[in-house]
Amino acid sequence: MKIAPQYRGDITPTGDLEPFRVAARDKVSSEAVRLLTERPHIEVTDDPTVTQAAIIRSATKYLTEGDLEAYQHLMYVARAGVGVDNIAMPLAAERGIATVNTPGASTDAVARRSLAHILSWASRVVQGTDALRKAQWPKNQPEVEPIDLSEKTLGIIGYGRIGRKTKEFAAPHFGRILYTDVRPVEGATDLETLLREADVVSINVSGKEEVLTSERIVTMKPTALIVNTARGTVVNTAALLQHLDQGGAAALDVYPKEGATMFEIPEVQGLTQHPNFLGTPHTAAADPVTQKKLGIEAAQRVIEFAEEGTVNPGNLPGHTLPRVSLRDTPSEDDNGNGGGNGSSEDQPRTRFVLTHPSVPGVLRTVTGIVAEAGENITGLDTKDGKIPTEPRLAMTMFDIPEQQIPKILAIRRKIEEALHPHRMRTLALGSE
């Protein structure tokens, strides 16, 4: 059986081999750290001056130039979580930093929270609990009368991983389920019809832009429940409060501003104190098991980048780069598409990975430099980013069979002199 060459370390500008260095921030799970430390040529460090990749949760912010000032070698950031609000994507793109998050690990937990909110609302748990605490027994009162969902319609806005899982979890409870998405999805309905016909609306979109505008909320049934486990900014807060005042309901895990200071906003305070509100403080994916899964997924993404240069293997939208990879057997992305042109060589090789501005002539320059050195490129992938920067970020990755350090360093120097890349790695792949 053929064994693919193994990562032996990064070749430094002086010709030495050094481990790939990762910062595990924000109390990422110990299991994630263990996975990293078990790899023979990966080192976990707290030193930002040597960090090449970072795993972060929500506490670390990369939102300003100052946040990145000490990270002169940072090339990959893995967010252990669904959102990436704590990373300024245009800034990361300008610095040549690839990004990825971990939506898969929290899918079940977030979908379960949506269903839990729906069932709590239908069972009138909040109203019943409040009455009992006041030593009241309102069994025959309308405010605690449960709602039978079997004749109700659930509408799901955003039919990605979490939306599909929400449908799966909720299907036994509802008489009908509608769903919509910005992408073409088989069986989807249009947003206007969904809002008009749904008794419960679950929002599972991936972005931060307002989806439930004031104009759209007024088209909904006046008694409809709005469930939001996506982002607080996707629902117009003033219109949502008005919806509650008119007999509707809201079940939220996310808010337009979060933390103790959010209650200083009159509309947020009005929501959380409203009798038709139920909510949780952004804890849908905060349980220890889900956090462990998120950390493990982030560590796996970093290991892939450390040992093979692969970024964003799931081709997740909203990141500084799409999928870039030279895997010999490319995995499929979310759309069923394969990866780059992987090398079929099983012999030792050197892999160059560089982020650079997307400008004409990069490939011509790289191939010319390699050819001038008397070498062949045995595998190549290059992709442009989608984040609007000027110029746009790109990544180029290629293999050459050469293992002689002087020639490798000469090629590297010429690429640096000709292209001035944002970041550059040279991976030694072979046997120990």
231 is annotated as an active-site residue: yes
Q: Which amino acid is at 278?
A: L
Asked whether the beta carbons of 354 and 396 are under 8 A apart, the reply is yes
Active-site residue identified among 231, 243, 349, 356: 231
Asked whether the beta carbons of 230 and 205 are under 8 A apart, the reply is yes
Q: Which residue bears the tokens 């050819």?
A: 371
422 is annotated as an active-site residue: no
Active-site residue identified among 282, 345, 375, 392: 282
Q: Is 361 exposed, middle or buried (0-12, 13-18, 19+ CB in 10 A)?
A: exposed
Reduce the secondary structure of 366-397 to three states and give it as a string: HHHHHHHCCCCCCEEEEEECCCCCCCCEEEEE
Nearest of 390, 384, 398 to residue 322 by alpha carbon: 384
The sign of the torsion formed by the CA atoms of 31, 33, 36, 39 equals negative
34 is annotated as an active-site residue: no
Q: Report angle CA 106, 110, 112 to the nearest 5 degrees.
A: 120
- H/E stretch holding 423 reads strand 423-430
The sign of the torsion formed by the CA atoms of 61, 63, 67, 71 equals positive
> What is the rounded distance in angstroms from the CA atom of residue 71 to the CA atom of residue 80?
19
Q: How many CA atoms lie within 13 A of 324 on its CB side?
A: 28
Q: How many CA atoms lie within 13 A of 399 on its CB side?
A: 24
Q: Count CB atoms within 10 A of the CB of residue 287.
A: 13
Active-site residue identified among 210, 258, 345, 375: 258
Residue positions annotated with a catalytic role: 231, 258, 282
